[in-house]
């Protein structure tokens, strides 16, 4: 499959940041599994919920972003979890602050509904754009972003809940609204439209510390030709091994285990290495 790839705009100026890594990461040109802290934001606060509900304030998202950067995160994922509800993304100032001290790829999602919205976030410092609700409403947006900004910037976010064994339904609006779409079929369609990466959040597992839904992740990873990020449910170090070996994930996103200091990225990296899973040396 070929994609129309253009250089992703960035306002990074530090020599410690290599924009070419975004392209390599997005298309799996590195064999290392990426470790991606996830920062869900509501207003000005970093929050954490269970199954995307019951939100609890954690602190300043920029302070946590810097902490995870210093711990050796490969990328950061910022999600405005109420953006779709209010029809706008409010992460602009947070991202502008983050890129002053964080020099790794940043993905931003939530409330991005158009090319103009995507360009605005890139100008603020984001490197990749994640869309869910707007893509479900108008799948053509996937191709528009991929063709305009490059497939390496276009991340499809899938929020899925289990229906029956081997079947998952896509949800929108931060896991609130049913769509009737099959998660695996939607992933395949999105890649055919130009998505360069897929973020898969198992809503049933998110915040529960019960481990990733490896069946869901594997079903999508095995069906598409682009990297898949596993998200939702990491509760112990060994969950990263399952996400990679059973779920076939190219990257793992985690929140609760880091936010509540139950492990550091160094701990997670060491666990992965113990299972001969390639990770970047921090």
- Is 159 labeled as catalytic in the residue annotation? yes
Output the pLDDT for position 18.
Answer: 52
Whole-angstrom distance, CA of residue 166 vs CA of residue 219: 8
- Is 63 labeled as catalytic in the residue annotation? no
Q: Which of 74, 75, 159, 256 is catalytic?
A: 159
Q: Give me the average pLDDT of each 10-residue run along the chain (282 residues).
A: 36 47 49 95 87 77 97 96 66 95 96 94 96 96 96 96 95 86 98 98 90 97 98 95 98 96 97 96 78
CB distance 84 to 133 below 8 Å = yes
Output the pLDDT for position 174.
Answer: 72
CB distance 159 to 172 below 8 Å = yes
Beta bridge partners of 162: 168
Domains in the chain, please, with CATH?
Answer: 20-274 (3.20.20.70)
Residues 6+ apart with CB under 8 A from 249: 33, 212, 217, 221, 228, 229, 230, 243
Burial class (CB in 10 A: 0-12, 13-18, 19+), 202: buried
């Amino acid at each position: 499959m070929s994609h129309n790839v253009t250089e992703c705009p960035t306002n990074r100026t530090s020599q410690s940041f290599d924009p070419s890594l975004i392209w390599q990461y997005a298309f799996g040109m590195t064999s290392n599994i990426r470790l991606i802290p996830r920062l869900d934001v509501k207003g000005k606060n970093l929050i954490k919920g269970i199954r995307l509900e019951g939100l609890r304030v954690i602190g300043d998202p920029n302070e946590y972003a810097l902490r995870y950067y210093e711990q050796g995160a490969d990328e950061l994922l910022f999600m405005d979890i109420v953006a779709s509800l209010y029809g706008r993304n409010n992460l602009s100032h947070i991202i502008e602050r983050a890129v002053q001290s964080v020099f790794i790829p940043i993905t931003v999602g939530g409330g991005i509904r158009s090319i103009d919205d995507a360009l605005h976030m890139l100008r603020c410092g984001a490197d990749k754009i994640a869309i869910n609700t707007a893509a479900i409403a108008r799948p053509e947006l996937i191709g528009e972003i991929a063709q305009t900004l490059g497939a390496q910037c276009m991340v499809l976010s899938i929020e899925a809940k289990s229906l029956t064994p081997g079947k998952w339904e896509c949800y929108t609006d931060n896991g609130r609204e049913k769509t009737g779409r099959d998660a695996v079929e939607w992933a395949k369609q999105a890649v055919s439209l130009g998505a360069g990466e897929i973020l898969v959040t198992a809503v049933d597992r998110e915040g529960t510390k019960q481990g990733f839904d490896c069946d869901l992740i594997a079903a999508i990873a095995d069906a598409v030709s682009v990297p898949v990020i596993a998200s939702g449910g990491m509760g112990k170090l060994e969950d990263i091994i399952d996400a990679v070996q059973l779920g076939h994930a190219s990257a793992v996103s985690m929140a609760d285990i880091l936010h509540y200091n139950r492990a550091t990225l160094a701990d997670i990296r060491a666990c992965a290495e113990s299972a001969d899973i390639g990770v970047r040396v921090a």
